Amino acid sequence: MPSDISPRWKEKTTEFFSSSGVKIKEAGHSAGTFVEEVTKDAKVNVADVAERVGSMFKSRWALLQQPATRHAVQERLIVAAATTGTFFRKGLSETKEKVSVGKIKVEEVAKKTAQKSKTILSDIERWQKGVASTDVFGVPIEVTVQRQQSSRPIPQILVRCADYLISSGLNTPYLFKGEGDKKVIQQLVSLYNQDSNASLPEGVSPIDVASLVKCYLATLPEPLTTFELYNEIKGARSSIRAMRNMLRRLPTVNYTTLEFVTALLLRVSQKSVLNKMNIQSLAMEMAPVIIWQKGRTPDLYRKYWNQPSKGPSRKNLDPEPTYSAWDMLSDEGDDVDDSIPLDDGVPMDLGAIEVVQCLMEHHNAIFTDANETIWR
């Protein structure tokens, strides 16, 4: 069918497509130009960045290659290394110091522990033996004299006490009869157990010193007259010659100490007008701590001496009857008992009193071969 489109519309259509083609070509050309420019700019930017990085690297490398810069870097490295070394050495030193301090503390603790162990072992030894290595109370008299290494075979504690009483205490009323201060006497016992050559403290009471003498004699494991010669010495009390011969059988230390003690008592009795203690009174007070029978120790005076307990036993749980310092002893095996009961029921051994009284009254005649003790 023939077209009914007018020529005018054909013309308009042709113009439209023609102008559209031109515009499309222009747009394509513009787009190509824009992409080309962008690409160029990108290339330029990349090249510029690369050039800048390269330039910076070159400048830094050139800077590092300069002697001054190299020297500065080396110095910084050396300083850093030195600082690190200092810190390391300081840390090591502090560690060593801490280890040293710790070692010292460990050593101190070890020493203290060892000392405590030594003390404990010493206490155990004392507990087992009943005495310590430095004690004078409760120790055999010959052991005490041997320890002090003196040319005079008399315990130094007795010498100290006697010298003090002769110079300061002879006029004290009831010397060797008064009980004394228990606390003071215990302190004196502790003092001489630590140092047998110690001097008596200034201002100590003569009564306390006299009680210390009695305490020492009472705590001897065996009396000065010995257990073996107990009956023989009592039997010789009526004869000076028999007594003299009997006492010569005593060990040297016992004999010399017995002479020393009875000489002191004799000197005290010579001041009886002032101290109210004559020979008879002194004999009654001192006999219990000079002569006693085995198994009848003068326990009254042991209250001043804290002898370690040897542990519980059936014997300790059911103890045998004990006798005080006032208990005077009868002869073993004798049918005749010469003890005189006192009002308080405590027996007194008249024979023992007469022995001590004899030793004072006839001192020089009995101890003829001894170095007689003389005080001015």
Task: Kindly give the confidence (pLDDT) of every residue in the chain, 376 residues in length, as a single tens digit, with 9 standing for 90 and above.
Answer: 444 556 665 666 666 556 666 666 666 666 566 656 656 665 656 567 667 767 776 666 666 566 666 677 667 767 776 777 777 677 767 776 766 666 676 677 667 656 655 544 544 454 444 455 678 999 999 999 998 877 889 999 999 999 999 999 999 999 999 988 999 999 999 999 999 889 999 999 999 999 999 999 999 999 999 999 999 999 999 999 999 999 999 999 999 999 999 999 999 999 999 999 999 999 999 999 999 998 887 766 555 545 443 333 333 333 434 433 333 333 344 444 444 443 334 467 889 999 999 999 999 999 987 666 665 5
Q: What share of the chain is helix, strand, coil (3-state, %, to 5)?
A: 65, 0, 35
CATH number for 358: 1.10.555.10
373 CB-near residues (< 8 Å, 6+ apart): 259, 260, 263, 264
Let me know how long the chain is.
376
Cα 135 to Cα 104, 157, 253, 261, 319, distances in angstroms: 34, 11, 18, 21, 26
Q: Domain total for the chain?
A: 1
Backbone angles phi and psi of 348, in degrees to 5: -120, 130
Nearest 5 degrees, angle CA 276-CA 279-CA 284? 90
- Is residue 335 situated within a structural domain? no
- Is residue 344 situated within a structural domain? no
Half-sphere exposure of 360 (CA within 13 A, CB side): 25
* Rounded CA separation 184/180 (Å): 8
Backbone angles phi and psi of 42, in degrees to 5: -65, -45
Contact 307, 297 (CB under 8 A): no
Residue 118, SS3? helix
Closest by CA to 285, choosing from 294, 273, 276, is 276
- Is residue 59 situated within a structural domain? no
- Is residue 169 situated within a structural domain? yes
* Rounded CA separation 340/326 (Å): 11
Instruction: List the domain range (segments joined by +) for residue 289.
Output: 151-306+349-367
Contact 137, 189 (CB under 8 A): yes
* Rounded CA separation 196/278 (Å): 31
- Is residue 132 situated within a structural domain? no
- Is residue 108 situated within a structural domain? no
- Is residue 318 situated within a structural domain? no
Residue 348, SS3? strand
